[in-house]
Structure formats: C-alpha cells, structure tokens
Structure 1
Amino acid sequence: LQSLLRSRFTLATGLRNFSVCTAFSARNRFIPRTPPVVQKTGRGPQDGQRIARRRRDLPTWRDYDPEIGIPLPSGELDQATITEIFGPDMHCDDGNHILRLMHYRRLSGSLIDIGVDFPRESGISPEMATKALEYIRTLDPAFDENEAGAAWAESEIMKVEQQYMARAERLGIYKRTDDSQADDSQSSAGSSNIYGESALDQLRKANKARWMEEDRKKEEAKKQQEAERVSALKAEAKDNNPEVETKEETGKIFSPFDEIALAQPTQKAWLEPVERKPWVKYYEEQATIIKDNKIPNLSTLRRLGPSALVLLAVLAGCWMLEETYNPPPRSARMFPDVPPAIATLGAITAINLAVFIAWRIPPLWRTMNKTFQVTAAYPFAIGTLGAQFSHQSFRHLFVNMVMLWPFGWILHDDVGRGTFLAVYLACGTVGTYGSLAFNVLAKRWMNYSFGSSTAVIGTMAAACLVRANNNVTVLGYEIPDITGLTVLGMIAGLEILRAWRGKNTKIDYPGHLSGLATGVLAGFYVRSKTPATLMTRKEFTSVQSEESAD
C-alpha cells in the first residue's frame, strides 16, 4: 500500500513540477524585462467577491457523467462541422458524443491516465478521439492540462487511500481517530514543514471541505423533505378526524384513527450475504455476454435479420410437418398403450422440465443464455426457437403446462400430432420474434423474453377456433353452453386488457399477442382444410389419426 501511494504521489508531484517549470520558462521567454503597466479597472473588492461567487455556482466536471461527457461551450455542432473534424463517414450525433467524452477527460484531468483509448465495443477509435481532442484544444488553448492531470492523480490517490482505510477499519486492523486529533496532527505536521503547504494539499483540503458541505446540504434537504411529508400527513389526518388529537412520544408513532402505538425497533438485525463459490463465479463471468454493461452498437437489421431467417425456416418446417406427417403404426410406438395426445404433451412437458433443470447447472449458463432466451441488446438467432422451451422458475413452468394440457389435448385429438406440433412451434416462434421486434423498435435493450406462454396461448386460440361452434371439452368433461368462440373472445379480451393497462411489466404482452394472432391464423387454416360437416356437429368428431392407425 505504501509503495503504491508513494509511486502515485511521485507521479502527481512530477506533473506539478513539470507544469510549474513550463510556466516559468514561458514567462522568461515572452514576458518583457520592463515592469508591466498596471491599469485601474474601477472594480472594488465587492465586485471580485461577486465574480468568485458566480464562478463557484457554475457546474464543474464533477457534475457530469463520464459516460455522457460535458457539452461544448458552443453547444452541439452541425453536420458540416462534424464532417470537417472527423471526415464524411461520421454522423452528427456520434461526433458530438465523442467530443463530449473528450471534453470531460480534458477538464477532469483523466486524459493523463486514460488518454484516447476507448473500449472496442464503443466503436470509438484512437484516431477519432485524437481528432476530437485537437478540436477541443482549439476552443480553450489556455487550459492547463498538466495541472488538471495533477489534480486528477491526487484525487485518485485519495480514493485508493480511503478504500484501503475503509477495508482496514472493516477488518478491525485500523481504528479511525477523532476528527479533532486528526486535524491537530495534520496542523502540527504542516507547521513543521519548512517549505509550507503545497498547492496540491490546499486543493485536497478545499475539495474535501466542499464535498463535506455538499453532503451536509443533501442530508439537511432530505430531512426537510421528510419533515414536510410527516407534517402534511398529520394535517390531513387532523382534517379528516378533527376530534382526535395525535400524540407524540419519543420512540413511538401513534395513529390518529385507532390510537395504536408503533414502537421503534430496539434492535437491528443484519443478515450476512452469502457469496457465490469461486467456481460458480467463474461460470457466471463466462456466461456474461455483455461484459462492460454497454449496449452493443448494432443496427436494427443486425438485431432482427438473423432471427427473421430462423423464423422463416421454422415456419417452412411446420408447413412441411403438417403436410407430410404420417402417424406411426401401433407396433412402432414407444408407449403403445398411452393415447397419442398424452404422449405428445408429456414429451413437451419433459423437454421444458429438462431445460428448467439445465438452468441450475452453472457450466451450461453460457449456452443457455445464447440458446434459450432472447435479449434485445444482443439477440442470438437460435434463441427465437429455443426460448419457447425455457423457464427459470417452477411457478412459470407449472402455470404454462397447466394451461397447455387441456387445450392441447383438444387440439391434438381434433387435428392429429403433426398439425398440433406445427401449430405449437409456429405460435411459439412467432410470439418470441414479435416480442424481440417490439423491444428492439422500442429500444428496450434490457428486456429479455423466454417461456412457452407464446406457444401455449396460440395453441389455446387454435383449439377454440377449431371448435368455434361446439362446446368445449376439458379433460373429458364438456362445458355446456360455452362454445370455443366464446372462450377465444374471453382469452383475447383478457390479454388485450392486461396489455393496455400494463400493470405487470414482467409479462411479455407483445409475445402473448403475437402468439395469439398466430394461433387464430392457424385455426382458420385448419378449419379451411376440415370438412364443413364436422364443424357443425354437436359433438365434434375427432380426427385422431394416430388412433385410427393403431
């Protein structure tokens, strides 16, 4: 620790000496030997105090985010100026963004530490940053970058020192002394220095005092807001119940309505966080696709194009499956005594359960992130198909499977295994892609989607539309006076109402509505291929291709 602090302090001191020597040599070269003529400006001490006060009130580089930068004094530049600085390939918004970032680095002094290097994912090359820096230097050539760099180095030294001191205090190795003792020791040490207090020490003390004052003001403002809120609540309660008086005691809060006192807690509990094991942390880091929490600079076509190709391939495969599937004979089935609908739904449930278990295995996390979910920031095309089999909570899996079995059983018995699987996969894939497209176009980069709800709701819609004029049968029990079209209207109305209200933001409404629309289209397609006599019967005659083959 001492060697680290000594090396960083040596760097800061060397920069300060370099800036001082440079300024001294400049004065020797350009300042004339004759005494300068002092002109009276007519300003008194009060004018100087007002100017200094206005300068202190102006925002500094600490008031800005280093990821956004500091705006230029002249404001945003137009496209012609950006082209003159960077060339014809630079967009106006990107060029202004680079200028703001370099302006922040120059004013804060971090230019001496970071330079013109940016992460590769940002798309900013050192040549772009150098051109931006050269332009910014022309705006304020008198700015001392060496002095700003020395101040930056000093602040970094203070941060490292505070981190190590806080860690030592937390481990019980170091005990902080009183502020009065620390101030006395610093003053005595400062007075023993024959060279006096350095400019860096003065800057450090001034910054520390300013930060403490800002923290104190924020704390006072927070207390004031809390007091105003409590007083407003008391006034409202008194207006509603003028006969009841509120009581105040130390450590207790009395309700003005039922005289119930709530005592302040006497003890504070602290739950020690459980850290992940090192091998789990390793796989967690490996599974992270976006390392620096920055949105990749990808176009809309790059995000949606590959997934669209996968969607078209899946739809083509579903059409071929529906047209060419022939049920196997009874002797070729793995479970000949199990009805075909139960076998198919059981296989789908087993696949979803296997993916649910795979999410609990850390070495598979990276593969799961790429294959079984879709994120708008950096989507993988194969996730458009795999996301409909993915669940990370048992409740999510249980609800979807409970909704799938009754309606999937109906659709499977009516249209057969090939058509049922085609409808299920098509609804799930289209629903996932619809969710991805909505999040990309709305620039909701952190939204991600997974789950079989898109396929399930599409299957429900297709089953209801196939039996639009017939009663719905759930697990062998017929529901009287409720046709499939009625159930479809209830499902669609509920989804549209929930999406319009939008209270539960965790539900993928775009995916649900896309899957629902696909199920409706699939239902119309199946009805167009089914004889009309079957659609008008009181009891819908099941196709059950598998059973007839058996």
Structure 2
Amino acid sequence: MSNAIWVAWRIPCSGLRLSSVLPPATFRPVCRDLRITPSLYNSTPRRLYSSLNTLCQTQNRPNTLRFFPRYSAPTLPQSRSKKTAAPAHSEPTSDSLLDKSLSDLEIKAIFGHRTKVSPKLANRTLEVLQARRLEGTLDLDLPLDVARAVPQSQLDICLEWLRVNYPVDEDAAIMARIEREDREAEEKLVRRAERLGLYKPQSGSYEAELGEEDSPYGKSVLKEAREQNEKYLLAEKERKRQKWLDGEKEEQEKLQRQLEENTSLQQYQESALTEARPRADPNERPYLAWVQKHHIAGTLDHPEAMEVTTAQRLVAPALFVLLTLGLCYYLATTYEPPARKDRLWPDIPPAAATVGAIIGANVAVTLMWKYIPPSWRLLNRFFVIVPFYPSAPSMIGSTFSHQTWRHLATNMMVLGLMGTRVHDELGRGNFLAIYFASGALGSLASLSRSVLLGYLGMTSLGASAATSGIVAAWCMYHANDKITMWILPHELRETLWTQGWIFLACLVATEVFSMVAPARFMGVFPLSRLTKMDHAAHLGGYFAGAGCGYALAQRRKAERVQRARDAKWFENLVR
C-alpha cells in the first residue's frame, strides 16, 4: 500500500520518447515538475526499467529507446565557472564509459545465445547507451547502425544491465542537460541581442573575463588607469631624481662661465662655487633635497644682467622711490584718523596698533626666510637689494626683510621705543609717511653706493633705514628741546641732557666714521661690528627723517605764530 500513490501518479505517464515523436520541449516540463517535488524522490523506491515498461503503455518502435528516469534527488553541478562569465560544457571522458570491451561469452550472456548482434556492434551499443546515460540524452535517436541492427527488446536488456553494473544518476544527468541547453539558448539569445545592439553587459562583452574576487562587472578601467598613472609617476619621479643629481656639475659649469664673463663678480668666484652643499639624494634625504631645490630655484639667474649698465641699474629704482615719496606726501597731507567705532581694534591705542602691525609684517617675512623655502624665489626678487640685478619694488620690500633674529630684534626694539612716541606726537599719517620715505631713500642710497663702487655682489636688507628715519624725525622735531635718557634718576636728568639736533649729529657722525675708518683692522668693539652694517642706508634714512622732522617742526612753528597773531588781533578787537 505504500506504493499506491506512486503507482497511481506514474500510470498516466506515457514515458519519454524519441525527439521525432515527443520533442525535447515536452520533456523539460516533466523534469521541472520533478525538481519541485523532492518529497517524491525520497519516498519512491528504485524501479527497474522492465517493471516500469509494463506500467506505461507505449508503442513499440524499432528505432525508439524508451527511457524512464529513476526518481532520486539529483545533485546539480556548478553552473558558473570561477574565472569566466559563461561556463564551458564538460563532455564525458573515456574513463566514465565501460572499463573494457566485453568478450563473446559476456555479450551472449547479455544479449542471449541466439542473438545476431556481432560482439563489435554489441560493445558499441553498450558504449553508446552508457554515453547517453551520462549525458542525459536517452530520449534522442540512436545511431543508425545501432538502431537498425539491435532490436528494442535487446536495447532494454542492455540498458538494464548497464544500470545494474554501472550505476549512474540519470536524473542528475538529465537536469545537467537541461541546464546546459538552457545556458546555450540563453547565450545564443544574448549574443544575438549584443550583435543587434539591444544588450550591453557592464563588463564590456558577453563571456568577458571576471574582475577581482570573481566580480561579474569585469576588470576595473579606473583601477587600470590608476595603476598606469602610478607607474608613470614613479618613472617621472626617478627621471627627475637622476636629472637633479646629474645637474649639479652642469650648474657649477654654468656659474663658472658667468663669473668668467663678468669681471665684477670674479672676487666672489670661490665662495659662489663652494658655498652650497653637494646635492642630496631625494630618496635618502628628501627634506634636504627639497630645500636645495628651492634654494637653486630662488637664486637669480638672468644672463641678460651681464649687459646691464650702471644707469640702467639705478634709473628704475630711482623712479620707484620718487613715486613712493609722492605717495607718502599725499598720505601725510590727506590722512584723517578713523572714528573709534570704525577701527579694527578699537580697544588698542592707535600707536600700538600701527607699530604692532609693522612689527608683525617684519616677523612674518623673517619666518618665510627661515622656514618656507618655496617663498625664497619671491623674497630674493622683491625683499632684498641685489645691485647685480636690482628690482624696483625691493626698495620698499627690503625694509620689511630680516634673515636673522638678532637683526630683527635690534630694529624692532628701536621701532617699539621710538615709534609709539613719534606716532602719538605726529599722528599716524605723518608717522607712516616718514617710515616709508626713510626706508625707500635709505634703500636707494645703499643701492647707489654698491653700484657706483662696483660691489655688485653685496646685498642689503633690513628696516634700519626706516627706524633711523623715525629717530631723526623725532630729534629734528625736538631740535631745540632738552633730550635726556628716561632710565636716569630724576636728579641726573637735569644735568645730563642735550638738544635734539646735537643728538642726531652724533648719530650721523658715528655712521660716517664707521663707514670711512678702517675699523676692521682696529679690532675695537663696537667699531668692528659697525663695519658690517649698511651705513649708506642708515645715512639715507637719517637725512630723510631729518628733513621730514624739520618740515613738521617748521609747520608747527608757523601754526604757533599764526595762533599768536589771531589771539593778538582778537585782543585788539575786544579793546
């Protein structure tokens, strides 16, 4: 009774026939029904071909091989390869067929003693049936030589013998065949759609090579481009490295030729060729190589400077200084201090804000000299006076430039002590006009001295000319007033004092003496250190500041006289 349901379910089945009678399209739905009812597979006993043949009423055809699958749960093979987008069909090998050809006695035991089938044809029949079992194609027509010579009854006997002696999961083979045919049909449709332009896979083409980790999207074009760019960048980096290391000798030879062509620079030949360190390897010492590259890039390299005359070196800076003086005069005469609410820092005194901004600018430029090598090219062009190839904007830029902290501290200390006092007495407009005018005239004086004396390799920078102008302006503004040192006790201030013009005269005399006296041979402090200063720039700043201070003092005197006249006229009118 346990098989009643199975027999009742199988009786209406007419079996699977040849493709000429029952096409494969009719066979596939039956197998798909088998795949969705796994419970029947497990509960159905194994039945022989002969017993099933008695249950299914079919027509006997001489060229037809009836096939009834054994209903066991199939094990489907992998439908996709790991390396390709579409798997290849695996044909059965010779190892999967019969082990060896059967003898005559074995053939007669299978086909019967009265069989007329030759041993050769019998072995071929067994091999064909076994191959069809492995491929799941028992429903297809047999070869003509087998179909004509072997009766259907003997084909059934051969198939039963193979199932007993060579067990094969025929259901799994049928399912694999269905999957294979479905894939082939799908591939055919996809290729046709791709040719017609109706389908475009993301990987570029059908059956394209998979990407990393078996990605169906294929190889990444962006990753390939990135890898190519990385290879190019590495090669370019190595090329630049070799060019950098091999270019040291060329740079020295080029500098040697420039020095030989200009007699004014021959005295600096040795220091120019041996001052820089040997070029560092970017792979071993990248920071030093980076600094050296910016040092070379910041070095002025103008072959046309060899042909520049003395007049050409001085005309452009002189015109720039004249323009600066005109702007300073305009600032001094038209400047009006802003209201408290309009100031950027209303809680800070105006003098402290102005002087602090100037000190901050000087500190910023010093930091650029010290720690920002990419800025050296800009600084060498506009923030230092180079007589060999001067730049007009450097007449102002050099007054904000310092390369050592001691130089910066000295100038900023003078500016902090005297700048706030002058700012409070003269006003912001006059203070800024004096500062920039003194710095510009001092820079022009330094450049003129170096060019006229032939010191083309001597550079100059610093705010000492501007601070000297501030000191000179205050001295001339108080030319006849008593000047003393605020650090002295109150009793000594009445004894140790001098007038402003006398104090300024002493400063100018010290600068002149330090410039003309052979102090470097005397070795007397502080004259030995004074010879390293730019005395021409200091003198230029003193004269500019003194002129501005004298003009302001005369204007103050004229205003006092005018107020006295107005007061006297008012008194006479009242009387």
**TM-score between the two structures when normalised by the length of structure 1:** 0.45
Give the TM-score taking structure 2 as reference length.
0.44
Q: Which has the larger radius of gyration?
A: 2
